[in-house]
């Protein structure tokens, strides 16, 4: 069956071309009912969006934006490499913006990006994102947005992430298998999908192995390294101190090493440590750090590919892609028996 154009589709539906176009872009201006009708007809008649015509209509910036929350994290360096690989093939420019874990910076960046400076946005949310409404609105208005790594809960958003639950579960299981009975979970303040899902995995593993949950062992840290070292030191000095630590982000694992050094606890003899991390020096540390390593490069590549499918209108309607790529557990000396 040959493909048809937008005009033919609008005639079949008895709707204006503009309304059909908006419905295909999942615009908030069109009712859910109409969208459904349009999509069904588009599928029936084998409608294929014409990316060339669409690029003529819209002034293209040939740029995409990457919005990330922090820089002292190798994860984002690797993810950006993955993004660049795809963008270069497409002849696109990548503009990177930092939000410094600050939702005001994030809001202002997004507002700025709506102005047509870029053709699409890849974003990893900052830890104090109260809600991602602004972003989902942007996306509903037909602007291509893909979330990666730290993603919103909203079901309507295209996302690329790792299986954080699975990573949290496996890391905890590894600590249990080496004999840990009092496993602490180090989390950062604020709400992040990654932190929450990793913690759910941690709790599920405790349940599976009949280890009672202890709220005192869920330790909330901040964005300040010195402060975190004190928080962790305090936790390691309390009665019934942890004999294993699962760190949800790499900077807290580094703080744990320093904290242990200060109070003369030996890793892994006195306390075993494992961390979500892409740290380049993980295997060079003394002792080498066991990690759950998210596939940062692949996540970046996949997120960029998805964004370009959206920019080039190779997908339409309310089909939402949610890609999940597993992390890898790498056992090193910090969690050995």
Binding site for its own copies (CB under 8 A): 70-72, 74, 76-77, 80, 84, 93-98, 100, 104-105, 108-109, 112, 117, 225, 251, 254, 257-258, 279-281, 284-288
Nearer CB in complex with its own copies: 76/316: 76
Query: Which three-class secondary structure state does DSSP give residue 332?
Result: coil
Tell me how far the alpha carbon of residue 327 is from its chain's centroid.
13
Closest approach, Cβ 37 to its own copies, in A, equals 42
Closest approach, Cβ 224 to its own copies, in A, equals 10
Nearer CB in complex with its own copies: 1/284: 284
Closest approach, Cβ 114 to its own copies, in A, equals 14
Closest approach, Cβ 220 to its own copies, in A, equals 21
Query: Which three-class secondary structure state does DSSP give residue 39?
Result: helix
Closest approach, Cβ 336 to its own copies, in A, equals 15
Closest approach, Cβ 318 to its own copies, in A, equals 33
Closest approach, Cβ 235 to its own copies, in A, equals 19
Query: Which three-class secondary structure state does DSSP give residue 121?
Result: strand
Taking the CA of residue 112 as centre, how many other CA atoms within 13 Å lie in the half-sphere pointing to its CB? 14
Closest approach, Cβ 225 to its own copies, in A, equals 7
Nearer CB in complex with its own copies: 93/336: 93
| Beta strand pairing call for 322-325 and 328-330 | unpaired
Nearer CB in complex with its own copies: 178/288: 288
Rg, Å, the chain Cα set? 23
Q: How far apart are CA 274 and CA 335, in angstroms?
A: 6
Query: Which three-class secondary structure state does DSSP give residue 136?
Result: helix
Q: How far apart are CA 38 and CA 30, in angstroms?
A: 10
Nearer CB in complex with its own copies: 80/192: 80
Nearer CB in complex with its own copies: 94/204: 94
Q: How far apart are CA 11 and CA 51, in angstroms?
A: 21
Q: How far apart are CA 126 and CA 304, in angstroms?
A: 19
Nearer CB in complex with its own copies: 42/126: 126
Closest approach, Cβ 266 to its own copies, in A, equals 14
Nearer CB in complex with its own copies: 108/213: 108
Q: What is the DSSP letter of 47?
A: B
CA-nearest of 25, 59, 85 to 304 is 85
**Cross-strand pairs, 65:** 95, 121
Nearer CB in complex with its own copies: 196/230: 230
Exposure string (b/e) for 272-284, b if CB count within 10 Å is 16 or more?
Answer: bbbbbbbbeebee
Q: How far apart are CA 123 and CA 129, in angstroms?
A: 12
Cα torsion through 144, 106, 278, 185, rounded to 10:
-120
Q: What is the DSSP letter of 324?
A: E
């Amino acid at each position: 069956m040959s493909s048809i154009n937008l005009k033919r589709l609008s005639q079949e539906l008895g709707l204006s071309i503009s309304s059909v176009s908006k419905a295909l872009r999942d615009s908030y201006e069109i009712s859910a009912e109409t969208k459904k009708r349009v999509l069904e007809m588009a599928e029936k008649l084998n409608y294929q969006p014409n990316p060339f015509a669409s690029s003529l209509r819209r002034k293209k910036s040939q740029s995409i934006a990457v919005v990330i929350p922090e820089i002292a994290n190798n994860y984002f360096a690797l993810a950006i490499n993955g993004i660049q690989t795809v963008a270069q093939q497409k002849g696109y420019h990548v503009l990177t913006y930092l939000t410094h874990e600050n939702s005001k910076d994030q809001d202002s960046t997004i507002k700025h990006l709506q102005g047509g400076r870029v053709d699409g946005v890849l974003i990893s949310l900052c830890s104090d994102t109260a809600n991602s409404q602004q972003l989902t609105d942007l996306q509903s208005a037909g602007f291509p947005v893909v979330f990666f790594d730290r993603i919103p809960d909203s079901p309507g958003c295209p996302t690329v992430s790792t299986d954080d639950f699975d990573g949290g579960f496996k890391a905890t299981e590894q600590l249990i298998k080496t004999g840990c009975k009092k496993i602490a979970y180090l989390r950062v303040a604020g709400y992040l999908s990654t932190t929450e899902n990793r913690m759910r995995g941690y709790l599920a593993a405790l349940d599976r192995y009949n280890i009672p949950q202890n709220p005192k062992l869920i330790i909330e840290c901040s964005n300040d390294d010195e402060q975190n070292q004190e928080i962790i030191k305090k936790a390691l000095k309390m009665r019934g101190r942890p004999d294993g630590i699962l760190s949800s982000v790499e900077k807290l694992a580094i703080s744990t090493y320093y904290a242990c050094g200060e109070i003369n606890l030996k890793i892994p003899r006195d306390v075993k440590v494992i961390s979500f991390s892409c740290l380049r020096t993980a295997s060079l540390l003394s002792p080498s750090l066991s990690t759950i390593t998210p596939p940062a490069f692949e996540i970046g590549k996949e997120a960029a590919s998805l964004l370009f499918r959206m920019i080039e209108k190779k997908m339409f309607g309310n089909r939402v892609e949610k890609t999940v790529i597993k992390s890898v557990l790498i056992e090193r000396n910090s969690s050995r028996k």
